[in-house]
Amino acid sequence: MPDAINKVTIDVTVNGRKFRRQVEPRMLLVEFIREELGLTGTHIGCDTSYCGACTVQLDGAPVKSCTMFAVQADGCEVLTVEGLEKDGQLHPLQKSFSEHHGLQCGFCTPGMLMASHALLTDNPHPDRHAIKKAIAGNVCRCTGYQNIIKAVEAVAAGAKE
């Protein structure tokens, strides 16, 4: 192991704001988001990309930020849960998760929101199966998933009207 690790300069846009930072090449994207930027809504649950608590969007696609290096996000746009609220108004998905009790401890919630947000961006009218597939890589230990599905369905139904 080298005595000093050479840092690499990266430019990453997070929630619409550009950041230039010097990071260790081995720093994970989730560590960059949590430690460098202080955005702690993105969580670490399993270290092996099974649980999806670390899900963010990279150039619009949901990714597991514990399984990517920060340097791989150089030049990319990242959206985290903190970027969902706008003008003090919660995103409809955030409201719906609360209304339908789609969260209990709230630890998986940011990942669930980012995965389902990516789904609705691609497909505003998903059916139940499509919703399940979209969050198949996100583990929730509290809700049994029932109300999470309901919360996403309600937003999708709202978009139809």
Restricting to residues 19-78, which ones interact with another protein according to CB under 8 A?
19-21, 24, 26-27, 34-35, 37-48, 50-51, 53, 57, 60
Q: How many angstroms separate the first and last alpha carbons of the chain?
A: 59
> Closest approach of Cβ 157 to another protein, in Å?
13
- Give the containing element (helix H, strand E) for 110: helix 109-122
- One of 23, 73, 108, 119 touching another protein (CB under 8 A): 108
Residues contacting residue 21 through CB under 8 Å, at least 6 positions apart = 9, 10, 12, 32, 36, 70
Q: What would the x/- binding string for another protein be over residues 83 to 102, using CB under 8 A?
A: xxxxxxxxxx-xx-xxx-x-
Q: Does 81 bind another protein (CB under 8 A)?
A: yes
Q: Does 2 bind another protein (CB under 8 A)?
A: no
Which class for 3: exposed (0-12), middle (13-18), buried (19 or more C-beta within 10 A)? exposed
Query: Identity (one letter) of the amino acid at 46?
Result: C
Q: Which is nearer to another protein, 110 or 126 (CB)?
A: 110
- One of 8, 72, 130, 145 touching another protein (CB under 8 A): 145
CA 112 → CA 27, 128, 144, distances in Å? 24, 15, 13
> Closest approach of Cβ 106 to another protein, in Å?
3
> Closest approach of Cβ 39 to another protein, in Å?
6
Q: Which is nearer to another protein, 6 or 16 (CB)?
A: 16
Q: Does 140 bind another protein (CB under 8 A)?
A: yes
Q: Give the DSSP letter of residue 1.
A: -
- One of 8, 67, 72, 104 touching another protein (CB under 8 A): 104
| Local structure of 8: helix, strand or coil | strand
